[in-house]
Amino acid sequence: MPAERLQKILSAYGIASRRAAEAMIKDGRVSVNCEVASLGSTADPEVDSIKVDGNEIAVKMQKVYLLLNKPRGFLTTVSDDRGRKTVMELVYDVGVRIYPVGRLDINSEGLLIFTNDGDFANKLMHPSNEKVKTYEVHITGNVTEAVELLKKPVSISENDNTQTVVVKAAGVEVISQGSKEAVIRISIIEGRNRQIRKMCTACGVKVLSLKRISIDSIELGNIESGKWRYLTEKEVKLLG
């Protein structure tokens, strides 16, 4: 693990907030490898001995679970070699290394889970858990016909269009409908790459916007776009 600023490490380990940690460092209460640290000092908690008031900080990293309302225009990845915006820019202030669980494409928005708990992430993503993911989708085209088609098995392309698979929505609900546009809710379990968009294309309609609003009983709620909140202990248990 690369070295990080001490105040970030103390925050990540649940010792104090970053501001309080800075005050501890200024007061000479923090040491690294038996030397009193100064503001701006860095360390690697997996290698260095970090003490607060003479007490070694816990080796085990605090587990973090949060929910972000992802806006459009952000890649769901930890980094991008082309310099594009990533979701990590929206959770920079968490104070601990976390990563997104699953994906939302750059033009999609809504509920995205982050954690530093590998076991939790693997359980959440594993198909055997059959988590129901619900999306609110604004479509345009022959919406009346498409809604009926979306309720049936749909063939979509995979692997750069070299293969096709048959998928079926777990649920389709019309929220509002006009002659050429509609807002619908589609629930799926498989979660294949761009599955909702491909299903809509196969059924003859274009997706104008797509937002994930829930995973099982965990709902996006009224969190502002680009903001996040911690999951409750109950929510973590429900998802894991």
Q: Which pair of tokens denotes residue 14?
A: 């649940």
- Residue 139 shares a structural domain with residue 205: yes
- For 150-169, what is each residue's pLDDT tens digit? 999 999 998 777 889 999 99
Residue 148's domain spans which residues? 132-215
Q: Which pair of tokens denotes residue 112?
A: 């995205």
**Is 105 part of the annotated catalytic residue set?**
yes
Residues 6+ apart with CB under 8 A from 93: none
Provide the CATH number for the domain around residue 231.
Answer: 3.30.70.580
- Residue 144 shares a structural domain with residue 34: no
Q: What's the mean pLDDT in 3-12?
A: 84
How far CA 185 is from CA of 68, 151, 165, in Å, comes to 20, 11, 22
- For 108-164, what is each residue's pLDDT tens digit? 999 999 998 878 888 898 878 889 999 999 999 999 999 999 999 999 998 777 889
pLDDT at residue 60 is higher than 60: no
Q: Does 121 or 224 have the greater pLDDT score?
A: 224
- Residue 51 shares a structural domain with residue 165: no
Provide the CATH number for the domain around residue 211.
Answer: 3.30.2350.10
Concatenated DSSP letters for 181-214? EEEEEEEESS--TTHHHHHHHHTTEEEEEEEEEE
> How many domains, in total, are found in the chain?
3
- Residue 94 shares a structural domain with residue 163: no
- Residue 178 shares a structural domain with residue 222: no
Active-site choice (48, 53, 105, 160): 105
- Residue 171 shares a structural domain with residue 112: no
Q: What's the mean pLDDT in 1-29?
A: 85
